[in-house]
Chain A
Amino acid sequence: MSDAAVMHHAEMDRSVPFLFPAKKLAMWIFIVADAATFGGCLVAYGFLRNGSQNWPTPFHFYPTVVNAIVMTFILVTSSLTMFLGVRAAKTGNRSAAFRWVLLTTLGGAIFALLHLREWMALIDEGVRLYKNPWGNNLFGAAFFSITGLHLLHVTCGIVALLVVGMRYRAGRFNADDLDITGLYWHFVDLVWMFVVPLVYLLNVSK
């Protein structure tokens, strides 16, 4: 939107202070802060790994790396469906937008289930927060804390999308509200783009 259009919009709608939507800026502030949280976790993991003499590299191509490929595909595709939902909302098509949002939440739910299945497999192999059968005792804490924090974000995103999606369909929220919630979902996908290479792919078993 051009500056002139935003100025006109601000004059017409007094809920838009400082010439851009405050809600959107608030979401971006949250995203930046949350990105810093994940950044801190990943850097701490990097220090742990770099300082360890025997950091485990237990992830075999099958099933772990294959699982990571599928999960990445699902999450990136859910970002696309989220974009398509916002696009439909911007054109005023509430029912189509809600369908795309439902698809997005379905993708998130499948991602979460695959993730939990992987967690159970690692736990079956003896990985705990404080020990594992392969090497440095902190491997489990690092892995479960980073992936668990991301999984928590995915879960909260699913809930948020369902709530906002249903209220949007009922006419209580508008397309901008859906767009702002979509920003969070894209952020969750963006974090996964860093978690996969740093936590999984640097620890593949060759």
Chain B
Amino acid sequence: MNPTSQHATADPSHADKLGKYLVVYLVILIIAGLQFVVAYQHIDMSAMLFRMLLLAILEAVLAVVFFMHLGGENRTFVIWVALITLFVFAAMQYGWTDSNRMERLAPPPSAAGAPQ
């Protein structure tokens, strides 16, 4: 890391943003608390999974946009991050289809030596 590279400058606007980030922090905690509430609802597994993932994605978006300040970054930078993310997901598509094949298309296990 280059100590002479002085990107950092005093930015007084950081002082007046603290309230916003405290609100984001509290919202993330509330969403996390909601996940614990959903866990004890009497709903089927698919509905519970959907709600859990939805809440987790909301938390993640808040964390990425505010705490990781991707929302305030240079537009070119955000586009590069988005492209890299899409590339990684596209590369993973081979894994999903193979896992689907193993779960749904594989022949049923025999009684002898069947996994539990």
Contacts and interface: CB of A to CB of B under 8 A. Distances in A.
Interface of A: 1, 3, 6, 9, 13, 15-16, 18-21, 23-25, 28-29, 32-33, 35-36, 39-40, 43-44, 47, 50-54, 65, 68-69, 72-73, 76-77, 79-80, 82-84, 87, 89-92, 135-137, 171-177, 183, 186-187, 189-190, 193-194, 196-198, 201-202, 204, 206
Given A32-B88, A186-B63, A186-B68, A90 B5 contact: no
B92 A40 contact: yes
Interface of B: 1-3, 5-12, 14-15, 17-18, 21-22, 25, 28-29, 32-33, 35-36, 38-40, 42, 45, 48-49, 52-53, 55-56, 59-60, 63-64, 67-68, 72-77, 80-81, 84-85, 88-89, 92, 95-96, 99, 102-103, 116
A9 B67 contact: no
B63 A193 contact: yes
Nearest to B11: A90
A167 B83 CA distance: 33
Nearest to B89: A36
A72 B103 contact: no
Contacts, number: 163
B15 A91 contact: yes
Given A91-B15, A201-B35, A201-B52, A175 B63 contact: no
A90 B10 contact: yes
Given A40-B95, A91-B11, A76 B28 contact: yes
B6 to A, nearest CB: 6
Nearest to B18: A87
A137 B63 CA distance: 35
A91 B12 contact: yes
Given A43-B99, A190-B60, A204-B39, 16 more contacts: A1-B74, A23-B1, A32-B81, A36-B89, A36-B92, A65-B36, A72-B32, A73-B29, A80-B21, A90-B11, A176-B5, A176-B8, A189-B63, A194-B60, A198-B53, A201-B39
